Structures are given as structure tokens and as C-alpha cells.
Amino acid sequence: MSAVPDQSTASTGPSGASYAAAGVDIEAGDRAVELMKEWVRKTRRPEVLGGIGGFAGLFDASALKRFERPLLASATDGVGTKVDLARQLGVYDTIGHDLVAMVMDDIVVCGAEPLFMTDYICVGKVHPERVAAIVKGIAEGCVLAGCALVGGETAEHPGLLGPDDFDVAGAGTGVVEADRLLGADRIRKGDAVIAMAASGLHSNGYSLVRHVLFERASLTLDQHIAEFGRTLGEELLEPTKIYSLDCLALTRTTDVHAFSHVTGGGLAANLARVVPDGLHAVVDRETWTPAPVFDLVGTTGRVELLELEKTLNMGVGMIAIVPEESADVALATLTDRGVEAWVAGEITDRGDHATGAELIGSYAK
């Protein structure tokens, strides 16, 4: 059967079908593109060719002459159900930071320098100012990560999504010199495990958070929480910290062996991903105090500690593993960059441990 409509019966008059009548507003999409151009330009790197509006973003890889054997690193991710809180609060310029962090901080784990990123925004109805605000946040995040925003797509899906519904996703590319590639093969017994403080919940575990705080406890986003010093909504929408440039700075001052980005699965599970067979990472909970939001979720939902730690970052957003003798230099580098960091543990023999990482002790009060 032909997919082409029968032209003899198709209506061409005023009452005929149209894309706009089906719910897709092309003019609104064009308006959104115009509004976002200024923010995209702010992310430009010298290797980027052309501008916004092409079918593909162009990046001149030949300009990376400082690399002898460049390895490209890529990652893709989204923000998850945190976007629903942004929708409810009408705040759209922060989740872009979350998106960039989720993508580019995965890329920097192997020691790669972020180069460029593309985004995908899916909406039920294009509200130009809203889409532009989302892209503004993504562009600001790209600046913080040191990468260019070279392209993206805004798709309008009426009927599939409600008029105010939306979701965001992105993909990024970075580059690392082959002999500078970080990972499990560099880690040695006695290495120090350095924790970098999270800015909050970041962008993981929001399905649990929303279930506990709103469905079970009936809290509201505009409710002021004394322990936070602000509303619950403001706390939950706190953007994810972007560590990319901090991690790269650390590689220039210290012999970093590996990084671990603490996202879904929690600290132990993500740390175990970079610990080699035969070794074990031990992290001491007594070295830090998680922010009050973690206690609120755990206490309100009566969530067991191990379940909480498998879901949330518990206050640690990034881990660096360095030689023990380099720990002081690493901490000084991060402190100079305004990153709260501390020695949280060490690399030991695996012994009888079934996993590559574990948390011991109790959190400091």
C-alpha cells in the first residue's frame, strides 16, 4: 500500500489538515532557535566550524595538533525525572547544567578533555522562551565544562507529551592522549581515594526522592525546610556540579590514576567500576557528613542505609584515585579551585571481598 495520500480526495481548502492543526508549530520552533543562538555562541571553541542551523555540527579535529595519538571518548545521558520538578517549578535554566555534568563528567573520567556536545529536547508543545531557557542552561554548563555546543534538536510531540511536558538528553565527545588514558590498570595498592563534594542530589535517584517526599510524606515544593535554609523545591533543583575542568587541572598537577563519577548506583558501585581485580577500595564514612537532604529522604522514607547508598551519591560527586604521596598536592589543587575535597579512603588488597569497593564506619555527625 502506498504511503502517499490519494491526491484526488485530499482536502486542500481551509478546513484541510495541516502540521499546525496536528499540534506542531514550526514558527514557534524557529523562534526558539533565534532565542538560543546567543547562548550557543558563548560556547564556541576555535575548532568549531560554521554556526547554528546546519544539519550537522562541524569540529576541526586536525586542529588538535598537540595530540600524538588522540583517542576520542564519547558519552550520552539525560537528566531523568528531575525534569518534572523543573516543569512544576517553572524553572528551566538549571537542568542544562545537570545534562552537561552527566555527559561530560563521564567523559573526563578517562582523562579526556571535553570537546563538543549536542542536545535533544523533546516537548509536547514548543514554548520558545522555555526552550531557549533550557538551551541557555546547557550552554552555561558547556562553558563550565570547557566544551562547545555544536548542535541539537528540538522535537515537538503533541499527543505523546502534554503541552507542558518535556525531556532532555545529550551526547558529548572528548579527546585524550593514548598514553594518558586513565583507568583501572593504573591503580596500585596504597593509592589514596579522594572524594569531591557533591552540590546536592545531582541528577540521580529522583524517582525514589519524589516517591518518598511527595507521595509518602506529602511535602510540597514550596515548603520551607529549616535544615536547608530554603524551600524543598530550591534544594531539589540545585544543579549538578560540573567537575570536568577541575579533574583536568588535577591531571596537570598530580599523577592521577583514575576518576570515578558518582551517579546512578551510588558511590561504592561506581568506584568499583575502576578498581582492578585483586584490589579493593575502602571508603570511610566517618570522613564526611552528608548534606541534610540525604537524611530527609532516608528518615522520611525509612529507607535502609544500604538502599540509600545504592541510589544517591550521599554527598560525593566525583572520586580521584592518586598515589598516597600525591594526596596533599591533589587536595591543594582542588582547594585552590574552590572544590571541597578530602581523603576518604584507600586502595587495599582485595582479600575475601566480593566487590571492588565498600563503605565502612558511620557518617560523621
Whether residue 11 is predicted with pLDDT greater than 60 in this model: the reply is no
Are 121 and 40 in contact by the 8 Å Cβ rule? The answer is no
Give the tens place of pLDDT for each residue, 51-75. 666 678 888 888 888 889 999 999 9
Whether residue 112 is predicted with pLDDT greater than 70 in this model: the reply is yes
- Helix ranges (H only) for the chain are 26-41, 82-89, 95-107, 128-145, 206-210, 232-236, 244-253, 266-272, 292-301, 305-311, 327-336
pLDDT of residue 337: 97
φ, ψ dihedrals at 51, nearest 5°: -140, -170
Model confidence band, residue 336 (pLDDT cutoffs 50, 70, 90): very high
pLDDT of residue 106: 97
Per mean pLDDT, which range of 101-105, 126-130, 292-296 is the poorest? 126-130
- Name the nearest CA neighbour of 61 among 112, 100, 115, 111: 115
Using DSSP's 3-state secondary structure scheme, residue 321 falls into: strand
Predicted TM-score of the model (pTM): 0.88
What span, in angstroms and rounded, lies between the C-alpha atoms of 194 and 107?
19
pLDDT of residue 4: 33
pLDDT of residue 153: 87
Task: Average the pLDDT over 167-196 and give the result.
Answer: 96
pLDDT of residue 55: 76
Give the tens place of pLDDT for each residue, 345-358. 999 998 777 779 99
Whether residue 9 is predicted with pLDDT greater than 50 in this model: the reply is no
pLDDT of residue 301: 93
> How many percent of the chain have pLDDT more than 90?
75
The two beta strands, 48-49 and 58-59, are antiparallel
Are 36 and 135 in contact by the 8 Å Cβ rule? The answer is yes
Q: Residue 31, Cβ neighbours under 10 Å: how many?
A: 17
Give the tens place of pLDDT for each residue, 280-318. 999 999 999 999 999 999 999 999 999 999 999 999 999
What span, in angstroms and rounded, lies between the C-alpha atoms of 348 and 327?
16
Per mean pLDDT, which range of 14-28, 158-172, 266-280, 296-310 is the poorest? 14-28
Strand partners, 322: 192
Model confidence band, residue 15 (pLDDT cutoffs 50, 70, 90): low
Per mean pLDDT, which range of 78-92, 210-224, 345-359 is the poorest? 345-359
60-80 in b/e form (b: 16+ CB < 10 A) is eeeeeeeeeebbebebebbbb
Sign, CA dihedral 243-245-247-250, equals negative
Per mean pLDDT, which range of 61-70, 117-126, 226-235, 303-312 is the poorest? 61-70
pLDDT of residue 60: 82
